[in-house]
Structure 1
Amino acid sequence: MSGAETRYAIETLLERKRDGGELAEDEIRWLIAGFVDGRLTRAQAAAFLAFVFIRGMSEDEKVALTLAMRDSGEVLSWNVDGRVVDKHSTGGVGDKVSLVLAPLWAELGACVPMISGRGLGHTGGTLDKLESIPGYRTDLDTDRLHEILLDVGCFINGQTRQLAPADRFLYALRNETATVPSIPLITASILSKKLAEGIDELSLDVKWGSGAFMKTRAEGQALADSLVAVGTGAGVHTRARLTDMNQPLGRTIGNALEVEEAVACLKGEGPEDLASLTCELIGHDPEEIARARQVLDRGGAYERWCRMVRAHGGDPEAPLLGGGCAELVVEAPADGTVTRCDAYDLGRAAFLLGAGRRTASDPVHPGVGLRLHATLGETVVAGQPLATVYHADRGLDAALALVRRGFAIG
């Protein structure tokens, strides 16, 4: 195709989207391929994102965009018996569900090829948590992952550069162009990576509240509806659960601290909210949820966890990295009931201590974070511990201020 013809085509497509028209599947595929291989410019890609942000997309366009982004790179295939399933969370504070869910789902007979990410800002990342386990590798190649899936039934690994390269390009450009909060673009970003895993079934945990990307329940519902419609339209059985992230999940925030709590849950000793949500994300119906809970409560998935960790090169019995942090206890200032245990403030506090990162290249400290001793609705007396702060002489004063602000006693 000549340069003149290419320019004419891109201008026509951009003008149509700018004016609220609909793009066909082959047109969207042509755009995405051009963005990835450089035939189209960053300015043209930015214009496309802006017009989608302003005008939105139909369900057919969202499906086409998702599949075009998925097909911009490798689409994995596992050749295993049984259901190939995965779960995705839209991000929150104290969210260590994946660490419990993958081995539990595998113990129940599913195959779980989980591709996860790192934390950014106040939300934690599954890979950062796993890397607090000595020796655990999150950069295994596809051949090794296939071996682990056949042997163990689950893995949790990082995204390879071959998976959905269109998403890496567009995600960075969305940050630069203030087009991040767009439901069509969020939907395509999430699902293009998940569908590239070669799964049959996807369970979504869509969070809303102070510690989530979607701040209101209505925003969370809109995203959940979009994700389910597009995932289903792309041929994957997709379901979503809307969950409250106004308070942290579980009792720990921070990388090694959350691994410790996840392991306790796998031994049948974890906090109720973590155990309940994990089983609800696995189950299609009350009977399946109850079966998952029985296995979890008796510690039936713990050995599967150990096998997965060893398969990734880790030592499940070794002390977690980041030990030796100093500890400081924040106490209740008065008698009463905890009326606020704010996920954003507490997550931000852990971030300032070094548990999170500002940019993708920043290091994280595996040991810092918070352990919560009281949470929403619980009765406390003056002087009772609300939280233990684990720190390494970074950001302590600001973090303490946020912890104190994050709790309210009424």
Structure 2
Amino acid sequence: MKIEKTTLTVAQHPTGVDLAIPVITLTGTEPGPKVYIQANLHGAEVQGNAVIHHLLEAFKANPPRGQITLVPLANPIGINHKNGEFTLGRFDPVTGVNWNRQYHFDGSELAGFVAEHQEQSDEAIRDAFRQRLTAQLDQRLDSPWGLTVGQHLCLRLQRMAVEADIVLDLHTGPVSGRHLYVPRYARERARDFNIPLNILMPSEFGGALDEASFSPWWQLAERFASQGRELPVFVDSFTLELGSQEYLNVADARRDALGVLNYLQHSHRSAPWGALWADSPFQSEPVTRHACELEDYRAYYSPNGGQVEYLAPLEQLLKAGEPLARLWHFDRLAETDEAGLCDTLTLPCDAIPVLHFASASVQRGTELYKLLTNTFEL
């Protein structure tokens, strides 16, 4: 196996100094799938870098087939976006746009592409469509009107990811349990990650990297199906949320790396490019997995401002009416007894809390929690 480390320029300071990120490419001695894994697009979401560390060590010990591209520290602007002791880095500080909503896909060419390639083989369609997606990105990057800072960054990352058969984007939440965004067509393969909470995604493109990677191929398969031809979805893509932001635990990252390796060793064994390994060298501890549809992944917003005491444990079922949080109003001190100082917040239905706001000081309308509702075992 060959290991090569290069850098990719993704931004430029006002002084003209380039900002570059590390790119690690592993090339096996036998043909196989192409895999792209990136971490730390949002500045405070550092745990994915440790997962990539463990993945690299595992690949060295068990050389895979095919080619793997690893991109830690994917966003140097976000990583350096500090305010006091906190890393912000979720939004482009110039435009205010979420870094992970600036990837590109134009679906207007799908109908013409399907008509043009209706009689070709699956492999020819796959190769031609990948060329079309690459051309879209190159055209976007060469826009005579220019691009925002975030678009420059994301399109250069996407330009690497578009070559892959498997795309994994490693993130974390504010204060968060481990959860996984799963395209519905890949729900069976998603089990291999051994991540306890799962959100099932439709085929629509909303600007994130996982959608930019799976939506084109899924929508292509849907178009062919409408014409009476069954075509596989050639690319798998997932967003893995690996706990809380501003948190780094290299030992914890080993568990999630094993989940990724477990998925990779089983994924697409029947695909034309085969699997990364001939056998299954990795063992990952299975977990009970709960899931909901994207439309049932609900946000709960604070009804008032105050100081919040988060009560509901993450990743555990909360029954309707049980305490979710306690909202304290210390501005009422000396005016009322303890019962009048706080409100107990509850939900109208059973739910599994996934993450909550990082701060204890909240405004009215702050997104306090995100929760799975109408859940089922995956």
TM-score range (shorter-chain normalised) is 0.3 to 0.5
Query: More strand by proportion, 1 or 2?
Result: 2
Scaled by the length of structure 2, the TM-score of the pair is 0.33
Scaled by the length of structure 1, the TM-score of the pair is 0.31
Query: More helix by proportion, 1 or 2?
Result: 1
Larger RCO, structure (CA 8 Å, separation 6 or more): 1
